[in-house]
Amino acid sequence: MPSGSFDFVVAANRLPVDRVVAPDGTTTWRTSPGGLVTAMESVMRHREGAWVGWAGSPEETPEPFDNEGLHLHPVPLSGEEVRDYYEGFSNDTLWPIYHDVIVPPTFKRRWWATYRRVNQRFAEAVAEVAAEGATVWIHDYQLQLAPALVRELRPDLRIGWFDHIPFPPVELFAQLPWRKSILRGLLGADFLGFQRRQDGANFVRACRELLGATSKGEVVTWQGADDDEPGAAPRTVRAAAVPISIDVQGLEELARKPEVRERAREIRHSLGDPETLLLGVDRLDYTKGIRHRLRAIAELYEDGEIRPPEVTFAQVATPSRERVAAYRDLRAQIEGTVGRINGEFSLIGDTAVHYLHQSYPREEMAAFFQAADVMLVTPIRDGMNLVAKEYLTCRYDLGGALVLSEFTGAAQELRQAYLCNPHDIVGLKQTILRAMRDDPAAKRRRMRTLRRRVAAHDVQTWAEQYLEALGHAPDRPPRRS
Ligand code: ADP
Ligand code: G6P
């Protein structure tokens, strides 16, 4: 296959921008949702390269174009492919399995066939833009077959894959009827990066138990050819944890702007100038523990521990995957619960729960974070959770407190947060109260330690570590001095 001209190619399901077509036919672009884009967009702002991805709508696909120094290469998806590959296999089969089967996964052979076809299309697009010997960085669960498919087309490339979400224990992964094909797809990469050590270990164990691979620490060796795939070549790859982060400097600069600080004051004022503002910020996803959070808040109101207007809770929920049934159901439940809590505990003019089902610009998010006294990050399962790191970064004044679920990747790093088990509603209530009422000096000490940790591992450090590991794989990169 002839090669393209880019030495560095990123492939992710989404481009960093989504195409929005207005009813009058005019096209605008807006930042795509989610942590993957938040992180990779800032990585790519400091590098040259191409980004291969879907433009976010099934309409006619734009030609490749340049956007702020980055070459964007759209991959077309038909309406049916969006349904079967994106909403179906990616978000109704893989997402629930990779998140502890919080909701039951759906298995459909037609979805799998489309997932394969779309991964092949992504692989062809990568092969088309990558220069001879280029580095290719493939992202996330939507593109698990792409590493091997790219290698087949272009054996000259160095190929990495990063898992933004958890990798499940083999007992759950093994439910997938296509489990072996997925592992073979991933083994096409030279280096596989995960959020936590446990995720990498789960992958290695799955290769051992399901493919009969051997392993030594983080290095997996697969003999290749097996009954299902007689022609496959042997592979030796490395799988290790490289936890993702955020653009600390850029976000702190934004948060320090006088207009953002003023906006934070305005937000507090519009919410009735509470003594304590509790805040949740999530994509509206069942993994995020929003139901558990609301239950704890409702009980705290009921117990008389908190009341409006002194304490109020704001939940910002980004619309997400709205055509998948589990997401539609979740939205209905959350909105019903918010209505019930407000019916019972709001006072005239003083709302108990403010619910915002909208996306906001980065400046507005930074102002929200600055305005919040207690940030509630309570996922049932989350690969990392960048919101937690963003909150800490915006609180450069050392104010505020972070309540953080043990079931997030972030909790492995942020041990000084107010850690909680969101399933334990009594414990969660106590943790929220502690985060509100602890001695201010102790809270500041926690914030200082947490902020130091985030600052020392920002998204550029993450990308450098990842690319260094990819460059040396399957060997470990030499230790940094
Ligand atoms: P996930 O990737 O699962 O959505 P993360 O917490 O890792 O979760 O990343 C979410 C990203 O989306 C963060 O950068 C956060 O600031 C951003 N975000 C969340 N909610 C909104 C919103 N309503 N408007 C704009 N950005 C949002
Ligand atoms: C998570 C996933 C990303 C995904 C994002 C937003 O961060 O790891 O791969 O892009 O959620 O979800 P969406 O389905 O809207 O792309």
Residue 481 has pLDDT above 80, yes or no: no
pLDDT at position 325: 97
Q: Quick one: tokens of 438? A: 């602890």
Average pLDDT over the chain reads: 96
Please report which confidence band the pLDDT of residue 223 belongs to, taking 50, 70 and 90 as the band edges.
very high
- Mean per-residue pLDDT, 165-192: 98
Is 207 in a helix, a strand, or coil? helix
CA of 318 to the centre of ligand 1 (A): 7
The residue whose C-alpha atom lies closest to atom 16 belonging to ligand 1 is: 387
Residue with tokens 């679920």: 405
CB-based contact 282:288 (threshold 8 Å): yes
Residue 456 has pLDDT above 90, yes or no: yes
The residue whose C-alpha atom lies closest to atom 22 belonging to ligand 1 is: 359
Angle at 37 between CA 33 and CA 38, to 5 degrees: 90
Backbone φ, ψ for residue 479 (5° rounding): -60, 140
Which residues does ligand 1 sit against, CB inside 6 Å?
Answer: 34-35, 38, 281, 283, 316, 318, 358-360, 365, 384-387, 390
Residue 158 has pLDDT above 70, yes or no: yes
| Cα 6 from Cα 159, distance rounded (Å) | 14
pLDDT tens, residue by residue, 77-89: 999 999 999 999 9
Mutate to test the pocket of ligand 2, among 86, 90, 99, 320 (most ligand atoms within 8 A of CB): 320
CA of 387 to the centre of ligand 1 (A): 6
By DSSP bridging, strand 65-67 and strand 50-54 are unpaired
CA dihedral 284, 454, 32, 186 (to 10 degrees): -90
Residue 404 has pLDDT above 70, yes or no: yes
pLDDT tens, residue by residue, 6-55: 999 999 999 999 988 888 888 888 999 999 999 999 999 889 999 999 99
The residue whose C-alpha atom lies closest to atom 2 belonging to ligand 1 is: 35
Going along the chain from its start, the domains and CATH numbers come out as 6-244+461-472 (3.40.50.2000), 248-456 (3.40.50.2000)
Residue 271 has pLDDT above 70, yes or no: yes
- Mean per-residue pLDDT, 365-372: 98
Cis bond before residue 474 (omega within 30° of 0) = yes
Is 272 in a helix, a strand, or coil? coil
| Cα 392 from Cα 461, distance rounded (Å) | 18
Please report which confidence band the pLDDT of residue 1 belongs to, taking 50, 70 and 90 as the band edges.
low
Query: 479 or 2: whose pLDDT is higher?
Result: 479
Q: Which atom of ligand 2 is nearest to the CA of 35?
A: 7
Nearest to 330 by CA among 373, 376, 282, 269: 282
Query: What phi-psi label fits residue 212: left (phi over 0), alpha (psi between -120 and 50 degrees) or beta?
Result: left
pLDDT tens, residue by residue, 297-342: 999 999 999 999 999 999 999 999 999 999 999 999 999 999 999 9
CA of 261 to the centre of ligand 2 (A): 29
CA of 299 to the centre of ligand 2 (A): 32
| Cα 190 from Cα 355, distance rounded (Å) | 44
> Which residues, 6+ apart, have CB-to-CB distance to 371 below 8 Å?
264, 265, 267, 268, 271, 277, 279
pLDDT at position 447: 98
pLDDT at position 21: 83
pLDDT at position 2: 61
Task: Calculate what percentage of the chain has a pLDDT beyond 90.
Answer: 91
pLDDT at position 295: 98
Mutate to test the pocket of ligand 2, among 164, 281, 318 (most ligand atoms within 8 A of CB): 164
Q: Quick one: tokens of 320? A: 């997400």
| Cα 45 from Cα 276, distance rounded (Å) | 37
Q: Quick one: tokens of 389? A: 């790191």
pLDDT at position 67: 85
